[in-house]
Amino acid sequence: MAAAERLFAEHGLSAVSHRQIAQAAGQRNVTAVSYHFGTRTELVRAIMTRHGEQADLFRERYVALAESSDEIRDWVVALVRPVPEYLASLGNPSWNARLSVQVMTDPTMRTLVTEQAIARPNLRRVLDGLGRRLAHLSPEVRAARGEMARHLIVHTCADREGALAANTGVPPASWDRTAAALTDAIAGLLTAPATLHTPKRKGDT
C-alpha cells in the first residue's frame, strides 16, 4: 500500500501498473497486488480508507469543541484543521495529499472515496453542524461551496506536501499556518452573501 500510494501520487492513477507496484514493494510475485486487493479501485479505496479513518480521529476533539458553539468558524476549524494536522503527523516525505488530488480528479474514484468519507462519524457531525448553521443558503449554494471548500483543502495541502518533498531549501509555510489560512478562506467562502439569480426570460442574452 505504501509503494502504491507513492507511485500513484507521483505518476497518476492510470500511469502505474500492478507490476510496478509489486516491484517497488520488493515483491517477486508481480500478481501480489491483484491477489491482495483485486482491482486498482479497491487498492486506492483501501489506502484512502486507512488515512481517512486516522484523520477522523484527529477531528474528534475539534467536533467536541464545536458542538458547544454556534459560531460557523468553530465548525470550519473542525472541518479543516484535522487534515493538515494528520498530514504533519506522517512526516516528510508523505504522499497522501498528492494522492488525494489524483483521486479527486478521477470521477469514479472521487465518488467512491467521497461517499465513504462523509459516512465517517466525526466528519458527518461536522457537515451536519455546518449545514444547520448555513440553512439560510439554498441547497445548491451549500453544495457548490462545499465542493469549493474541498478543492481548497485538498489542493492547498497537496501543494505544501509537494513543496516539502521537493526540499528546495526555501521552507514552505508550516502545516499550522496552512491550517490557519485555509480556515480563514473557507470561513469567508461559506459565510459570503449569495447572489440571487433570476430565471432568464425568453429573448434574454
Can you give the pTM of this predicted structure? 0.89
**Angstrom distance (rounded) from CA 26 to CA 14:** 21
More confident residue, 43 or 29: 43
Given this model, what pLDDT does residue 25 score?
A: 87
**Angstrom distance (rounded) from CA 14 to CA 128:** 34
Q: 122: which 3 cell numbers?
A: 466525526
More confident residue, 95 or 30: 95
pLDDT tens figures, 158-204: 999 999 998 876 667 799 999 999 999 999 999 999 987 656 666 66
